[in-house]
Amino acid sequence: MTIQSLCDKAIAGARLSPDEGLELLRHGELLDLGAAANEIRFRMNPLPRVTFHVDTNPNYTNICNIDCIFCAFYRHPGDEGAYTHSVETMIRKFRESAANGVTTILLQGGVNPALPFEYYLELVTRTVREVPGVTPHFFSTSEILGMARVAGLSTGEVLRRLWDAGLRTIPGGGAEILADGVKRKISHLKGTSADWAGVMREAHRIGYKTTATMMYGHLETDEDVITHLELVRALQDEEHGFTAFIPWSFKPGNTPLEKIIPEYATPVRYMQMIALARIYLDNVPHIQASWFSEGKKTGQVALHFGADDFGGTLQEENVHAAARFVNTTSTEECIAMIHDAGFAAAQRNTVYDILRVFELPAAAA
Amino acid sequence: MHIRDRKLIPVWEKTQRGERLTMEDGLTMYASRDLIGLGAMAGAVQKERSGDAVYFVLNQKIEPTNVCVLTCKFCDFAAKSGDARAYEMSVEEILAKLSPEIREVHITGGMPPDWPWERYLAIVSAVHARLPEADIKAFTAVEIDFFHKKFRMPVEEVLRQLIAAGLRTMPGGGAEVFSERVRRLLFNQKIGAKAWLDIHRTAHRLGIPTNSTLLYGHIETMEERLNHMIRLRALQDETGGFLTFIPLAFQPGATGIKPANRFTSAADDLKTIAVARLMLDNFPHIKAYWVMLTEEIASLALNFGADDMEGTVGGEKIAHDAGAVSPMALARERIVRLIRAAGKIPVERDAYYNPLHVLGTRVVGKIPYLNSVPFYALLEKRDFRILPVVPRRMGMLGAIGEIDAGPFSLMDYLAREEEMDLMGWCIATRDQVKSVMLFSRGGWRDLEGGRIGITDDTATSVRLLSVLLEQKYGVHATLERLHQGVNDYDGLDAVLLIGDEALRRNKTGLDGFELVFDLAREWYEWQKLPFVFAVWAVRRSVPLREKEELGAMLERALGAVGGDFIPVAGRHGRRIGLTDAETQEYLSGFNYTLGEREREAIAVFRRLLSPAHSGAHAPGHEREAR
């Protein structure tokens, strides 16, 4: 099949096979992918507007026993700069964030084996009770697996108890690349792609909404990218628990992988990832572009390559910062960036309910 | 192609018909939110002109001083003498800064009140003497105007003296935006549109190709941006002297014109590249100047109409901070990576955009003339990467192994027969060609002892001309290679032009050269044989599977064309001023299959070239004019 006929097929709403996806990724012209992704984006999200949310990404600990070679954030117990915050400290932080208008708190660790399961339950319970107006969006699959080990429970049981404590959404981090050959190389202690998918499946069955992520631009091949997308699509067919798909590029600064991969992937690769995700994931409602992870201008352009969401304003962020990659914004600037890209901006909550719409100023319309 | 915004479709249809876009069309494009559709339109035009090539140059910027008599609101470079930041470099300091590997030196700077004219000439001559291989691109029109006024010399005289010192091309800075309104508000001490355009017109007439710029993203309107492009386009029609157009995104900094953090948006940057590619239908190149656009946007722009990445200028600092051994090599590596990531082939160029090195694989050369369009109709990205390159340069790149296949000029094929396999296709004429023409002031025999200018593009036509002169007519003349860009034909007795330029001149005529000879017709009347200008050949070392793939692709392409050339070549023809009927007639005159008669013609030509036939000193007749 020619590239054009593959694009036409996807635009018409038919599902692409892994081989067809690979063909598009390898041989499609960038703007052919962009045009097809854009058509599909407007079919699935017809309004010419882009959503964002006001969020923050604090961390309760940087102590971690997983030792991923793409990470500049973690410390071992006793290392200089290692920290674990008390629940009280975290709640105080959350209150400050809520006072600043934050509606989503994306909280992740380290996977710190010294923390008892009760710590996590208390974090959720107290957040729900004491910080009204924010949605806790806590704990990646790696941490859920860590809790299960510490507590001697199944991951399903861990998820059920967190649900009972009030947790309703989970971030999609920890997926990296869901192809075990690469996963073993970059994060050999983090579990397999089946582990990630298993936790996500259990979460979706309980009723959690989650995102799915992908970190590319390290050791993965084009085939691995397709394997990843295929796994996400198949899982979504089961319970429809994913709200959005979020790709980002590996940031090599200060990581052990920096020696092999000194630069992060180019913006052209990012557009290919965003567009391909929109074309391939016909059952995931939203594709998130990030002003944060790839730079403001690149993020803006991605809104034309199939993304309909601009992520969060990230009042605090430590993981990319540890890799010397820093971007900051304000709610006003975030809205202006979306307007400059030619879209109305809509503030949403964690599960994509619209809170407020900022129409395009007349001059730009 | 998918264009979501229906308002863009009429603009695209006009472009496809080869019609010129108007201010209204430009406004429609800027108003559209269909960034992808606009990019795809511009990308298609880019592909037609530049194939998959993106050009860069190893260059360096020298700013001899920042002392300047002007005070422009948007400039935070200039200083006044006595300021702590003010500096003035000596010739020795300048020479010490030059890296030996560069191919272009870019010299601009402030306009100090007290430098004598000789100091500028000394800088240019010294740089030229130190790096004779590097082309000097120096002085914006604003500086030329300053010299003209300060040293009381006509602009033409200023330029002539700079050329004599070694200047080859001029940068495009100082144009800002052609609007009296904006000029009065932001840079009232600078020259206006008329003076800028006049200086570039003069430079073009003297054989200096120049760049052009637009400073956007400050207080200008969309109409002012488009008017700027339209005026550049008009001058290009007149002179053909512009090499490239460079949109410069305004950097607010401490200028006070805009809040310091209010940069142009990514959408505006990419739209401006795309709109420029579509509006400036007579410009060979559009540049994504990465130093100002950011590497990210520059890299994306290579799919939105830009085919030019500037060069290593400005990269030295980044590379230097990274502690590299050779800052220039690292800056080069960065650019190459960005171009490859965009799916294009990095092509290192000289100041005239001649390709010096092609950093790609599976590269197929394309003669950028109407007559080879039919071969390339069916190429998709998967097959081969296309590099448009004039015949002589294709031969040079083939010789260093950087082009795998293509319609090589016959002479280049004959020189490297041992390394090449013929592919069964060629560009051969039946009885006339119309695009290899000698424009002459007199008849053949009047050329005895005369001077004939030959375009820099040709490899085989010039040998055909020698054979005709010496063996058909028994005439001896000196052949002088013309330089790139605009040439002054005064003092020449005849001029040999090939390709689209010959076609165009065949129609419009060339002032002062009353007689026009078609070299293929001359050959046919003499030998009663076709003439083979180029043969498709592929490097022997290319894997068989790839050779077969390429052969099948060419077969399919020619098969699909059949005898109707308009669907694939009509637009190219219209761009160079031919009606569809003329294009059809012109292309029907070619034979693309290498048959018995063509092989016989090659054998005859080869015999005539052998020393026994040609004069012993024949090749020595050719000398560089520059």
Query: Touching check for B4 and chain A: CB below 8 Å?
Result: yes
- Please tell me the predicted confidence (pLDDT) of residue A330: 86
- Which pair of tokens denotes residue B550? 């390429």
Judged against a pLDDT cut of 50, whether residue A355 lies above it is answered with: yes
Residues B457, B499: contact at Cβ < 8 Å? yes
| Residue in B4, B268, B343 closest to A39 by CB | B4
∠ Cα B487 B491 B496 (to 5°): 55
DSSP secondary structure string, A106-156? EEB----TTS-HHHHHHHHHHHHHHSTT-EEEE--HHHHHHHHHHHT--HH
Q: Do A267 and B267 touch (CB under 8 A)?
A: no
Burial class (CB within 10 angstroms; exposed 0-12, middle 13-18, buried 19+) of B562: exposed
Could you tell me how far CA A124 lies from the centroid of its own chain? 20
**In the β-sheet with A104-107, what is the strand arrangement from edge to edge?**
A55-56, A104-107, A135-138, A169-170, A209-216, A242-249, A286-287
DSSP annotation of B250 reads -
What does the pLDDT read at residue B321? 47
Which among A269, A295, A341 is the nearest to B267, CB-wise? A341
Nearest C-alpha neighbor of A175 from the set A160, A163, A190, A185: A190
Query: What was the pLDDT predicted at B320?
Result: 45
Domains delineated in chain A: 3-358 (3.20.20.70)
Asked if A268 lies within 8 A of B337 by C-beta distance, the reply is no
Nearest CA in chain B to A2: B380
Residues of A in Cβ contact (< 8 Å) with B341: 265-266, 268-269
What pLDDT score does B605 carry? Answer: 95
Q: Chain A residues contacting B, CB < 8 Å?
A: 2-3, 7, 11, 26-32, 34-36, 38-39, 42, 48, 263, 265-269, 271, 294-298, 300-301, 304-305, 337, 340-343
Residue B101 has pLDDT above 90, yes or no: no
**Distance (Å, rounded) from C-alpha A62 to C-alpha B303?**
41
pLDDT exceeds 70 at position B197: yes
Res. B221: pLDDT tops 60? yes
SS3 B364: strand
pLDDT (tens digit per residue) in B365-396: 999 999 999 998 776 556 688 999 999 999 99
- Is B36 close to A271, i.e. CB distance below 8 A? no
Contact B296 A298 (CB under 8 A): yes
Q: Which residues contact B434 (CB under 8 A, 6 or more apart)?
A: B502, B503, B506, B518, B586, B589
Is the CB of A38 less than 8 angstroms away from the CB of B36?
A: yes
Per the document, the length of chain A is 365
Q: Give B231-271 pLDDT, tens digit per residue.
A: 999 999 999 999 999 999 887 766 667 766 677 899 999 99
Read off φ and ψ for residue B243, nearest 5 degrees: -90, -45
Task: Give the contacts of A323 (CB within 8 A, at least 6 positions apart).
Answer: A72, A73, A251, A252, A253, A254, A255
Q: How far is B86 from chain A (nearest CA, A)?
A: 34
In Å, what is the CA distance from B40 to each residue of A35, A38, B54, B474, B575? 8, 13, 17, 54, 19
B512 has a chain A CB within 8 A of its CB: no
Angle between helices A30-44 and B35-50 (to 10 degrees): 170
Q: What is the structure's pLDDT at B244?
A: 97
pLDDT at A94: 95
Backbone angles phi, psi at B351, to 5 degrees: -65, -20
Report pLDDT for B616.
Answer: 43
For chain B, domains (ranges, CATH) are 6-349 (3.20.20.70), 363-428+531-604 (3.40.190.10), 436-527 (3.40.190.10)
The per-residue pLDDT for B326 is 58
B292 touches chain A (CB under 8 A): no
B43 touches chain A (CB under 8 A): yes
Considering only CB atoms, which chain A residues are within 8 Å of B269? 297
Give dist(CA A357, CA A340) in Å, integer: 15
pLDDT, position B261? 64
Q: Is B556 on the interface with A (CB under 8 A)?
A: no
Q: What is the ipTM of this complex?
A: 0.90
**Distance from C-alpha of B309 to C-alpha of B292, rounded to nearest angstrom:** 11
Q: Quote the tokens at residue A321.
A: 């910062």
Percent above pLDDT 70 for chain B: 92
Which pLDDT score, from 0 to 100, does residue B161 have?
Answer: 97
What is the predicted pLDDT for the residue at B255? 65
The predicted pLDDT at position B259 comes to: 66
Would you state the structure tokens that stand for residue B73, as one six-digit string?
């609101």
Give the model's pLDDT for residue B613.
Answer: 64
pLDDT one-digit tens code per residue, A29-62 = 999 999 999 999 999 999 999 999 999 999 999 9
Q: What number of CA atoms fall less than 13 Å from residue B311's CA on the CB side?
A: 20
CA nearest B304 in A: which residue?
A31
Size of interface A-B (CB pairs under 8 A): 103
Are the Cβ atoms of B341 and A342 closer than 8 angstroms? no
**How high is the pLDDT of residue B315?**
55
What is the distance between the alpha carbons of residues A331 and B203, in angstroms, rounded to a whole number?
Answer: 51
Decide if B4 and A337 are in contact by the 8 Å CB cutoff.
Answer: no
Q: What is the pLDDT of residues A156-199, one digit of tens each?
A: 999 999 999 999 999 998 888 988 888 888 888 878 899 999 99
In terms of DSSP H, where are the helices of A139-247? 141-151, 155-165, 180-186, 193-206, 222-239
> Tokens 């304003």 label which residue?
A313
Q: Among all residues of chain B, which has the CA nearest to that of A340?
A: B265
Q: What per-residue confidence (pLDDT) applies to A365?
A: 41
- Predicted confidence at residue B323, as pLDDT, reads 47
Q: Could you tell me the sign of the dihedral formed by the alpha carbons of A74, A78, A81, A82, in that order?
A: positive
Query: How distant is the Cα of A341 from the closest Cα of chain B, in angstroms?
Result: 6
- Placement of tokens 């002032």 in the chain: B511
Read off the pLDDT of each residue in B590-605 and give the average, rounded to a whole number: 94
What's residue B380's pLDDT? 59
Relative orientation angle of helices A331-340 and B266-279, to the nearest 10 degrees: 20
Q: Give the model's pLDDT for residue B324.
A: 44
Neighbour-count burial of B346, counting CB atoms closer than 10 A to its CB (0-12 exposed, 13-18 middle, 19+ buried)? buried
Residue A132, Ramachandran bin (φ over 0: left; ψ between -120 and 50: alpha; else beta): beta
What's the pLDDT at B399?
92
B287 against B562, higher pLDDT? B287
Residue B442: the pLDDT is: 93
The stretches of B307-372 forming alpha helices (DSSP H) are 315-321, 327-341
* pLDDT of A304 above 80: yes
Residue B617 touches partner A, C-beta closer than 8 Å: no
- Distance between CA atoms of residues B523 and B529, nearest Å: 7
In the predicted model, is pLDDT for residue A267 greater than 60? Answer: yes
What's the pLDDT at B485? Answer: 62
- Tell whether the torsion through CA atoms of B302, B306, B307 and B308 is positive or negative: negative
CB < 8 Å from A in window 22-41 of B: 33, 35-37, 39-40
Provide the residue type at B231 as one letter. R
Higher pLDDT, A181 or B7: B7
Find the CB nearest A38 among B4, B268, B382: B4
Q: Hey, are the CB atoms on B342 and A263 less than 8 Å from each other?
A: no
Chain B CA closest to residue A339: B265
Q: Which of A5, A26, A30, A296 to mutate to test the interface with B (most CBs of B within 10 A)?
A: A30
User: Is residue B345 a contact partner of residue B53, using CB atoms and an 8 Å limit?
Assistant: yes
- Is residue B88 over pLDDT 60? yes
Give the range among A206-215, A330-339, B615-624 with minimum mean pLDDT: B615-624
The pair of structure tokens assigned to B585 is: 């007639």
Residue B413: closest CA among B537, B498, B594: B537
The residue-averaged pLDDT of B180-188 equals: 88
SS3 (DSSP) at B605: helix
Sign of CA dihedral A42, A43, A47, A53: negative
Q: Do A266 and B337 touch (CB under 8 A)?
A: yes
**Contact (CB<8Å) A297/B297:** yes
Confidence of residue B618 (pLDDT cuts 50, 70, 90): very low
Residue A235, pLDDT > 50, answer yes
Main-chain phi, psi angles of B374, to 5 degrees: -60, -25
Segment B62-81, tens digit of pLDDT: 999 999 988 877 677 788 88
Q: What percent of chain A has pLDDT over 90?
A: 75
| Interchain pair A342, B267: CB under 8 A | yes
CB B265 within 8 A of CB B249: no
Coil/strand/helix, residue B555 = helix
| pLDDT score, position B495 | 95
Contacts of B33 in chain A (CB under 8 A): 48, 342-343
Q: How far is B272 from chain A (nearest CA, A)?
A: 14
Cβ B40–A35 below 8 Å, yes or no?
yes
Query: For B261, which residue in chain A has the nearest alpha carbon?
Result: A333
Instruction: With residue B588 as reference, give the H or E element that holds it.
Output: helix B580-588
Chain A hits for B337, Cβ within 8 Å:
263, 266
Q: Specify which residues A49 forms β-bridges with.
A: A344
Tens digit of pLDDT for each residue in B396-452? 999 999 999 999 999 999 999 999 999 999 999 988 888 899 999 999 999 999 999
The per-residue pLDDT for range B325-368, each reduced to its tens digit, is 556 666 888 889 889 989 999 999 998 899 999 998 889 999 99
Torsion sign across C-alpha atoms B464, B465, B466, B471: positive
Query: Tell me, what's the pLDDT at B40?
Result: 96
A300 contacts B300? CB cut-off 8 A: no
